Structure 1
Amino acid sequence: MKFDAFNVGDTFKTNTYHITEEDIMQFATFYDPQYMHIDKEKAEQGQFGGIIASGFQTLSLSFKLWVETENYGEDIIAGTRMDNVKFTKPVFPNDTIYVVVEVIDKKSTKKESGLLTIRMSTYNHHDQLVFKGDLATIIAK
């Protein structure tokens, strides 16, 4: 969608993603090798009672699900910032997540593009909020 097609208050819901223990460990081994993501025995004795997904993985999956809606399509030029990033609940193996995206701000910046800010709210299959963050992107008009 072009910048002008978005309106503040527009809301979109993504498809779902089922995350496995293997997904979590594979991602974390490379990007976030902390015990709660890769060491089953130690994680079971921790405060979450087992392996949990890295917040970075949750954020990445949330953005992947949003991009797959194809609302940005080829009209996106670049991301500019993320604000108010919050990981509110852990994502566990066998959780299924989805994202609700709301357009929260829109500013025309140039003749050919504008700055669009969305709020990504990611939920697990129990409809519990697990992640929230605001993402600003430059979109073609």
Structure 2
Amino acid sequence: MKFSDFKIGQRYETGSVLLTKEDILRFAELYDPQYMHLDEDKAKKGRFGGLIASGMQTLNVTFRLWIDVGVYGEHIIAGTGMNHIQFLKPVYPGDELRVMAEVTELRPRRTGNGTVTVLLSTFNQKGQNVFRAELSALVDN
């Protein structure tokens, strides 16, 4: 969509993705090698009662699901920021995540393009909000 096609309050729902134990372990080994993501025995004794996905993995899955909707299409120029990142609940192996996106701000620029800000809210299969963040992108007109 072009910048001029966006309206405050527009909402989009993504598809979903199932996070397996193997997905969580693989991501953690590469990018977040902490015990709660890698060591099943130690994680069982910890605060969450078992392995959980890295918050960074949840963020990445959220972003991928949003981009897969295809709203920006060929009109995206670049991401410009991510604000108010919140990890609200742990994500466990077997959780299926989906995202609701809502356009919350539009900032036109003199050049005709503008910045679109969306609130991304990620939910598990139980309807629990596990992640939330604002994502801004520069979009052509």
TM, length-normalised to structure 2: 0.98
C-alpha distance in 2, partners of 1:120/1:134?
6
What root-mean-square deviation, in Å, do the aligned CA atoms of Structure 1 and Structure 2 show?
A: 0.7
| 1:41 aligned partner | 41
Q: Which runs of 4+ in 1 moved over 2 A?
A: none
Runs of 5+ unmatched residues, structure 1? none
C-alpha displacement at 1:110, in angstroms?
Answer: 3.2
C-alpha displacement at 1:64, in angstroms?
Answer: 0.2
C-alpha displacement at 1:46, in angstroms?
Answer: 0.4
In structure 2, what residue type is equivalent to 1:98?
R
| 1:30 aligned partner | 30
**Residues 1-141 of structure 1 mapped to structure 2, 5 A cutoff:** 1-141=1-141
C-alpha distance in 2, partners of 1:51/1:74?
38
TM, length-normalised to structure 1: 0.98
C-alpha displacement at 1:73, in angstroms?
Answer: 1.0
Q: How many residues align?
A: 141
C-alpha displacement at 1:113, in angstroms?
Answer: 1.3
C-alpha distance in 2, partners of 1:21/1:68?
23
C-alpha displacement at 1:112, in angstroms?
Answer: 3.6
C-alpha distance in 2, partners of 1:73/1:92?
32
C-alpha distance in 1, partners of 2:44/2:55?
18
C-alpha distance in 2, partners of 1:73/1:125?
28
Residues 63-109 of structure 1: CA distance to partner in whole angstroms, max 9, x if unpaired?
Answer: 00000000011111111111111000000000001000000000101
Runs of 5+ unmatched residues, structure 2? none
